[in-house]
Structure 1
Amino acid sequence: MALAIERKRAEEALRESEEKYRMLVETTEEGISIDDENETIVFANEALARLLGYEKEELLGKRSFDIVYEEDLEKLKKEVGKRRKGKTSKYELRCVTKNGRIKTFLVSATPLYKEGKFIGSLSLMLDITERKTAEEELRKQKSYFQALFEGSPEAIVSMDEKHRVLDVNPAFTRLFGYTADDLRGKDLDDFVLGEDDRMGRMYTSKVINGEIVTAEGKRRRKDGSYVDVSILGAPIFIEGKQVGIFTIYRDITEKLKAEQEKEFYNSLLRHDIANKITVIHGNLELLKEEGLEEAQELFVNDALKAAQSSSELIDTIRKLRRIDTEQTMGALKLDDIISKVIRTLEHQAKNRGITIDYVPIKGVIRANSLIENVFTNIIHNAIIHSHCTTIRIRGMREGKQYKIIIEDDGEGIPQELKDILFEPRVKGKQSAGSGLGLYLVKKLVESYGGNIEVETKKKPMHGTIFHIYLPKFL
């Protein structure tokens, strides 16, 4: 009696164990398969069927080789050979799903024996497709950035979060003379900064504390000489944590030389030549008062015009230079600007029988004092060159900008000039100017973030229309 009870308990325990095992096999996220000695699938759980896109019944009877990607067949044959020798193995294997997609699995396979004879394999298959895709993408990105790093013409150094060198690119070695082996694990400042370069150490401190720094300065080479460089230093963050720093150096020696040379010639133009033209102009005016003969006076007048044109050219070049150097913008009233320009030019217009018809524009734009030159050039050109009787000026707001229309009823602009009107040195055949006025206008308007367009009215109407777009002051 006691023996029967004990046997029943053992059977119940076995059933419970089998049930737990079955539940584990069917609920796990890992694919599980059992193959016989011929690699024919005799068992597959729900997870494996789902991962491969089959019904469980469809997998039964298939050989493992039937679902393996062809390039991995040899690998599987080798792994099966190991199991036949009693070895457990772990490897990656690509399989083909029912719909043809390739998935990568991490396979843990164990040989099965019965009475010492190999009867098949038990395999646990973990889907690592997404992980492999991410790893491949990471590898590609790493290769891409490594190629950029190695091939960049700019000197680049990568460092850890404490400013210790990890690597330098070939351009860095060419510029400074140091190789990665010279610097690796060391603080870069100890090599490229001067002994008392407080500013350079302040820049380093800022980058270590998460700031981006751009600057220019001198940095020391391995041979002790110094080079002028522009500097971009930036922290590297991963998931909000600073893990490193990179710095890019560009040799600006030639740039600084060019700027110094440019400044020299600008100074020469602004002072020496301008002063000499003033002297010439003054002496010609004195000569004109000496009671010259008619032919002599014509020569003097031509010389005066040339001197005046040269002065205007120098003034225009000064203004063009200011566009590059003057960064300060402010709020300016359109009506104040245009009214001032009209007051300056209205006498000249009246002498030529021209009416300036202006409707005040109520608006505030973002610009600087050079904006007057935009309206002065366009209105003055209309007065001098267009042979018009009326110049109309209107304005309106369009979104975040103001559109100013300056229109005349003159002869219009020839088609061959219209397409190149805003290029430097372009002028009409009868013009004695420098050909820089409208070039200056376009440069100014674009420096404010605006745009300018021109059109010629067709018959029976004539004339030219300028559309000027300027950003409103926010």
Structure 2
Amino acid sequence: MDESFGLLLESMPEAVVVVNREGEITYCNSKARRILGKDVVSLKVWEIEGLESGEKMRDFIKSLASGRYTKKREVFEFTAGRKIFYLSIYATELLDGSGFILTFRDITPIVESSRRIEELNDVLRLINKLLRHDILNKVTIARANIEILSDEIKSERIPVALEALDEVVELIERARAFEQTLTSGELVEIRLGDVVKEVAEDFSVRGLKVRVEGDATVLADKAIYSVLTNLLENSLKHGKSTEVEIRVEKRGNFAVMVVRDDGKGLPEEVIDRIFEEGFTHGDSAGSGLGLYIVKKVIERYGGEVRACNDGGAVFEIKLKLAT
């Protein structure tokens, strides 16, 4: 190895190892020796003591040598003494094609933090699930008893109490939808037409007529149902709509879903704020989470949502087409 090249690798802040195309270590800088051990030169890189998943490393090197590996980055677990390290390894081919420079970066704090966050999320999801279950049970009991009392006691306060309990149930459902929005997993192929028809059926029994035109398969997950449910709920409750038209069409690499109702429209003075967290307006204001959830879900899909008035309220949602 050229001396000036060796000095350059030695001065690098990361641990650096050079291997030939067969995976044999031909050089490692001092930082690499502190992590991997002093006597690793001439070993195959997958033979390094403490390296877990040696077969994974062997496949990594073989893929690099064959030119089949395009990502050129992998994460490996490495044990030194009683401590476990997680090393992100990035490969760069030598200019003469004789081998590869492997740059090791310790990402242990990142991996451990991610695991702690996921563990805390699991606990929070369980707590929220239990709370929702228990609260809904109590609300159901309270509502049933109030309805029974309404047969015996005539009071204008009873409908107010029943409405408040219904709002508690709605808040719990909103919280469930928001949790789903933040914790949903991998995006999959979903037909918008199927989602629209299923959600529309739930609203048809409440007197909202939904007309559907067009279809497209997009990248989304189950939270897409909460998006459409929130929009139709707003049309029915806040817009006082009786009919909604949902049109789906393809534009380039995107599907555009336009939801248009025949209601009273969105207040022009607040139309720019309706997607803000907790924003409410008017006598029929809810929790202020519905449209915020819509925006967050669509953004997580890599899409966009906007709103305007054209007779009634119009929501335009752009989603990535599945390929």
TM-score calculated relative to the size of structure 2: 0.76
Matches of 2:257 and 2:37 in 1, distance apart?
63
CA RMSD of aligned residues (A): 3.5
Residue 338 of structure 1, CA deviation: 1.7
8 A Cα contact 1:409 1:464, kept in partner: yes
Greater relative contact order: 1 or 2 (C-alpha under 8 angstroms, separation 6 or more)?
2
Distance verdict in 2 for CA 1:289–1:430, change over 3 Å: closer
Q: SS of the residue aligned with 1:281?
A: helix
Alignment of 1:386-401 (within 5 A): 386-401=239-254
Alignment of 1:206-217 (within 5 A): 206-209=59-62, 210=64, 211=69, 212-215=72-75, 217=77
8 A Cα contact 1:233 1:247, kept in partner: yes
Matches of 1:372 and 1:388 in 2, distance apart?
20
Deviations 1:277-323 (A, max 9, x none): 12212321332244254266356425523430342133213321343
Partner of 2:126: 267
Matches of 2:35 and 2:86 in 1, distance apart?
18
- Figure out how many residues of one structure are paired with residues of the other and give that number: 302
Q: Which of 28, 39, 46 is equivalent to 1:166?
A: 28
Matches of 2:212 and 2:120 in 1, distance apart?
47
Partner of 1:441: 294
Partner of 2:141: 283
Q: Which of 189, 203, 222 is equivalent to 1:330?
A: 189
Between the aligned residues of both structures, percent identity stands at 18
Partner of 2:88: 231
8 A Cα contact 1:424 1:436, kept in partner: yes
Partner of 2:181: 320
Alignment of 1:21-36 (within 5 A): none
Residue 180 of structure 1, CA deviation: 9.5
Distance verdict in 2 for CA 1:473–1:184, change over 3 Å: closer
Q: SS of the residue aligned with 1:220?
A: strand
Which amino acid counterpart does residue 261 of structure 1 have in structure 2?
L
Instruction: Tell me if 1:374 matches 2:227.
Output: yes
Which amino acid counterpart does residue 142 of structure 2 have in structure 1?
L
Which amino acid counterpart does residue 99 of structure 2 have in structure 1?
Q
Residue 346 of structure 1, CA deviation: 1.9
Partner of 1:364: 217
Partner of 1:473: 322
Q: Unpaired runs of 5+ in structure 1? A: 1-137, 151-155
Matches of 1:289 and 1:331 in 2, distance apart?
41
Deviations 1:63-104 (A, max 9, x none): xxxxxxxxxxxxxxxxxxxxxxxxxxxxxxxxxxxxxxxxxx
Which amino acid counterpart does residue 436 of structure 1 have in structure 2?
L
Structure with greater Cα Rg = 1
Which amino acid counterpart does residue 106 of structure 2 have in structure 1?
Y
Which amino acid counterpart does residue 314 of structure 2 have in structure 1?
I
Distance verdict in 2 for CA 1:274–1:164, change over 3 Å: farther
Q: Unpaired runs of 5+ in structure 2? A: none
Alignment of 1:54-133 (within 5 A): none
Partner of 1:256: 115
